Amino acid sequence: MLKLGVIGLGIGRSHALAMMRSGKAKVVAICDIDASRMEKVAAELGGDVAMYTDYRDLLRHEGLDGVCVASPDHYHRDMVCEALDLGLHVLCEKPLALHAEECREMIAKAEQVGRKLMVGQVCRVAPGFALAKKIVDEGLIGDIFFIESEYAHDYIDIRGWRMDPELKRHPVTGGGCHAVDLVRFLTGKEPLEAFSYSNHKMLADWPCDDTTIAVLKFEDDVIGKVYVSTGCKRNYTMRTVVYGSKGTIICDNTTPHLSLFVDEFEGANRFMGKKMQNIEHQIPVSLSSHNIEAEVSEFCDCIVQNREPSIGAVEGAIAVAVCEAIIRSSETGNPEKIAY
């Protein structure tokens, strides 16, 4: 049984509970600067857990195998590098860091000390997106020529560190990194160039633009679109559409089915007089918008099996680099090359 710690108990609370339920790990230490929040989480975990208000003390808890860093984004680099230096394996929440340069430092550190560094790009294990990936990989929709993904989430009731003017945490990197990661994950292609427009009409007291639309040029002449809005007046969605030469997938992480339109199905391209691509095949998927159980399970398995995590830090770093190019383009008005 692995002994794990968790730093930051907002979404980190879910990581801690998932670790306890996994049967693969025990949470032996937790950390939060908010002691009352930490005490509540400790009680939920059964009480037998050490509590620290300084993450440096948690990192030195005796016998720890690994740690989940679920603190605000701007702490990720320092906390992750220090944990790695102390020989711990790390699961770090997305975005891996706010800037690609910091990500590179974290990856170099993990390589240097020979420890696992996994990033919480959790959409890859959300059932709808995982099924979409399987369908793409089995060739059912043919060659992808266009993909679009969106992160639309009204932040009107969200306050705190995300809106800190000093931090300038851009929504494209903050939440939009999920959509950016999905377009890479589902196409299996690298975006090479980004062109974007953004505006700031919805969240006046936030420091960054709240709506961004980016077009992406991928390798192999694939094109894509990412839309990020943290001020839109609608329910949260990460609707993603994958267009292939033989079919189309419409999926998200909040609908209990994935829609598949195919040119040909079981050998016939016509059914009841209708073209198959006019028929929506709804494939049920279980609802788990943040499938943290699967993420935690993979983190434990890669430690025990001494293999690289399926969602390694490089994936998180590339997502951040693409986000930076999108933000740069919205500022310069020019297409921006994506540098990894």
Ligand X SMILES: NC(=O)c1ccc[n+]([C@@H]2O[C@H](COP(=O)([O-])OP(=O)(O)OC[C@H]3O[C@@H](n4cnc5c(N)ncnc54)[C@H](O)[C@@H]3O)[C@@H](O)[C@H]2O)c1
Nearer to ligand X, 166 or 221 (CB): 166
Q: What's the closest the beta carbon of residue 207 comes to ligand X, in angstroms?
A: 16
60 vs 189, beta carbon nearer ligand X:
60
Which residues, other chains included, contact 331 with Cβ-Cβ below 8 Å and sequence gap of 6+?
A: none
Note the residues at the interface with ligand X (CB under 6 A).
Answer: 7-11, 31-34, 37, 55, 70-73, 75, 93-94, 120, 122, 160-161, 174, 290
Q: Residue 36 or 306: which CB sits closer to ligand X?
A: 36
Orientation angle between helical segments 76-85 and 100-113, nearest 10 degrees: 10
Q: Which residues contact 166 (CB under 8 A, 6 or more apart)?
A: none
Shortest spacing between CB 255 and ligand X, in angstroms: 17
Query: Smallest distance, Å, CB 260 to ligand X?
Result: 25
Q: Give least dist CB 98 to ligand X, A.
A: 9
Which is nearer to ligand X, 65 or 93 (by Cβ)?
93
**DSSP track, 67-131:** EEE-S-GGGHHHHHHHHHHTT-EEEEESSS-SSHHHHHHHHHHHHHHT--EEEE-GGGGSHHHHH
The residue among 71 and 248 lying less far from ligand X, judged by its C-beta, is 71
CA 301 to chain centre: 19
User: Residue 114 or residue 160: which is nearer to ligand X going by CB?
Assistant: 160
Beta carbon of residue 177, minimum distance to ligand X (angstroms, whole number): 8
Work out how close the CB of 47 gets to ligand X at its nearest, in angstroms, rounded to a whole number.
19
Give CA–CA dist 132/127, Å, rounded. 9
Q: How far apart are CB 94 and ligand X at their closest, in Å?
A: 5
Long-range residue pairs from 311-314, CB within 8 A, at least 24 positions apart, any chain: 311/118, 311/119, 311/120, 311/121, 311/124, 311/125, 312/117, 312/118, 312/119, 313/92, 313/96, 313/103, 313/106, 313/107, 313/110, 313/117, 313/118, 313/119, 314/107
**In this complex, which beta carbon is closest to ligand X, that of residue 81 or of residue 260?**
81
Measured in Å, how far apart are the chain's first and last C-alpha atoms? 36
| Residue number closest to ligand X, CB atom | 10
